[in-house]
Amino acid sequence: MSTTTQAPQAGSTRQGVEPPARFDWMQVVRHTLFACLCGVVCGFASIVLCLFVGAVRHLFERAPWLIWLLPVMGVVQLLMYRWWKLPLNLTTDAIIEKMRAGDHLSALLAPGILFSTGMTILAGGSVGKEAGALQIVASLGTTIAKPFRLHNILRRENHDDTYEINRYIASNGMAAAFSALFFAPLGSCMLVLELMRFTQLQYVTSILIACFIAFLLSDHFGIGEVINAVPVPSTSWRIIGVCIVIGIAAAVAGSAFAIAIRLLQALTMRIRRNYYVWVIVSGLMLAALVTVFGWWRFTGSGGEMLNDVLNMPDLSADFAIKMLLTVLCLGMECGIF
């Protein structure tokens, strides 16, 4: 019994062997244009966020009784999220996990978190601009990337790079906004690469372009999270040791802060899975604590408090109080505030 072997046709590939990647120059142009636009849009988004937060904070300082409207503001935010079909438990951690997974982010997330942050600070909530900026620009990056039809610069036939590109465009927006917010393009790029577990190293050039454009915009207008400069001491082994100790202490404190928020979120949802109840309860608790103990300066984003400490270094319980109010605000209100 004879058998015949059919020769492979020209141009076919062996089973299990991927075709070689093709360098796409048109995608290089598109990525560059997207990075430039992303830097401009996210830079201005950071500026708008700072102006908006500053304006509502000024209103609260003139009318501190607004703190008793904190539960009302929380309910309004929940209703807004429900109307726009956004998850009610869409925390910053959840956004980062979505970015890592390459999931699509809703365009309505940007105005949603902008208004939520503003309403919370207007009513004396203890939240910062950082989480708001992250969510706003991750959403904006996804939105403005649509016309560019971005793909991996190294194209492979029949390879779906949707999730990879979703990670990239959200990371680009987040890095650009942080660069504008903190006037730190290199640090913002590294922060985002670390948050994304260094899966975006191949796009570092594009991310840096967006970061520097956003930085130039915020630096030109002088609008961002302005942190007072401090003198840099001369290098010595003692200073190096102090920096290491401070770095470890900050890592421990930051981890404890994040864990406390997650534990409180889990506890409240185990007791009663009703976001409206916890928004009202936590809003009343925060208003009562601030009013009874006079913790007015611990409301808001905390930027002024940080600069006060840098101007007059002093050991106190101020940051513990600020952490308590922020954990209460974010932990019991599931990230909406």
Residues 109 and 46 in one domain: yes
Nearest to 46 by CA among 172, 224, 206, 300: 224
Query: Is residue 228 situated within a structural domain?
Result: no
pLDDT at 14: 47
> Using an 8 Å Cβ cutoff, are 181 and 116 in contact?
no
Q: What is the mean pLDDT of residues 310-318?
A: 72
Domain count for the chain:
2
Query: Is residue 230 situated within a structural domain?
Result: no
- CATH code of the domain in which 114 resides: 1.10.3080.10
Q: What is the mean pLDDT of residues 248-268?
A: 91
Residue 121 reports pLDDT greater than 90: yes
Give 258's Cβ-side CA count (13 Å radius).
10
- Most confident range (mean pLDDT) of 19-28, 94-103, 174-183, 193-202 is 174-183
pLDDT at 163: 85
Question: What are 45-67's pLDDT values in tens digits?
Answer: 999 999 999 999 999 999 999 99
Residue 147 reports pLDDT greater than 80: yes
pLDDT at 98: 86
Nearest to 53 by CA among 43, 65, 45: 45
pLDDT at 180: 94
Query: Is residue 304 situated within a structural domain?
Result: yes
Considering 197, 221, 245, which residue would you say is the last residue of a domain? 221
State the pLDDT confidence band at 284, using cuts at 50, 70 and 90: very high
The answer to which of 80-84, 113-117, 308-312, 333-337 has the lowest mean pLDDT is 333-337
Residues 116 and 26 in one domain: yes
